[in-house]
């Protein structure tokens, strides 16, 4: 009732405000193609069905697996990070230049000696070398070595040679 009154009031108001407009036929001047509204629901339903299937598929994949996938990804990423930081066998060893040079020289020398000369020959060479024949200051006569390194005694040297299974004749020599 109130609604009808309102509409009448609005119509009256419109007549006063816009007499030409209120005189225009309010009937819808547009038309739609024949049977358009009979066919439209089917067209819309057809368009909605693939949408529904697509939605179901995405819901199936992402709703069910998404949390699992996220957790799995985090765990894998964490494991890879730990491996790269602490275990990685391919990680290059950081050495400074001096260390590296010494390392290469020592390794090279030991490899060369072990390939070509046996241990007894090396010891023999060291013990038999006299100070006047020595040209290399780095090679010390055994007493000089013991004098410069008072922590080591002759007994220490003999013990070392015995530990290294050195021939007794060579040791007494």
Contact residues: another protein, CB under 8 A:
3, 6-7, 14, 17-21, 23-33, 36-37, 40-41, 43-45, 47-48, 51-52, 55
Beta carbon nearer to another protein, 58 or 73: 58
Q: Tell me the DSSP string of 106-133.
A: HHHHHHHHHHH--HHHHHHHHHH--TTT
Beta carbon nearer to another protein, 11 or 107: 11
Min. distance of Cβ 1 from another protein in angstroms? 14
Min. distance of Cβ 3 from another protein in angstroms? 7
Q: CA–CA separation, 45 vs 38, rounded Å?
A: 13
**DSSP secondary structure letter of residue 11:** H
Min. distance of Cβ 92 from another protein in angstroms? 55
Q: CA–CA separation, 135 vs 128, rounded Å?
A: 14
Beta carbon nearer to another protein, 18 or 122: 18
Dihedral over Cα of 38, 43, 49, 51: its sign: negative
Q: Taking the mean position of all CA atoms in its chain, how far away is CA 85? A: 8
Min. distance of Cβ 69 from another protein in angstroms? 25
Min. distance of Cβ 61 from another protein in angstroms? 18
Beta carbon nearer to another protein, 32 or 87: 32
Q: CA–CA separation, 5 vs 114, rounded Å?
A: 117
Beta carbon nearer to another protein, 38 or 151: 38
């Amino acid at each position: 009732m109130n609604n009808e009154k309102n509409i009448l009031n609005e119509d009256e108001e419109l007549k006063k405000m816009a007499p030409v407009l209120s005189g225009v036929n309010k009937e819808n001047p547009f038309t739609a193609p024949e049977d358009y509204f009979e066919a439209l629901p089917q067209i819309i339903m057809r368009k909605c069905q693939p949408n529904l299937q697509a939605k179901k598929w995405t819901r199936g994949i992402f709703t069910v697996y998404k949390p699992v996938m996220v957790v799995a990804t985090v765990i894998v990423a964490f494991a890879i990070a730990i491996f790269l930081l602490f275990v990685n066998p391919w990680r290059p060893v950081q050495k400074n230049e001096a260390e590296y040079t010494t390392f290469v020289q020592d390794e090279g020398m030991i490899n060369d000696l072990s390939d070509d000369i046996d241990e007894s020959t090396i010891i023999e060479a060291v013990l038999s070398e006299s100070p006047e024949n020595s040209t290399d200051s780095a090679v010390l006569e055994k007493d000089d070595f013991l004098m410069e390194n008072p922590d080591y005694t002759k007994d220490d040297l003999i013990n070392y040679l015995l530990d290294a299974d050195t021939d007794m004749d060579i040791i007494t020599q």
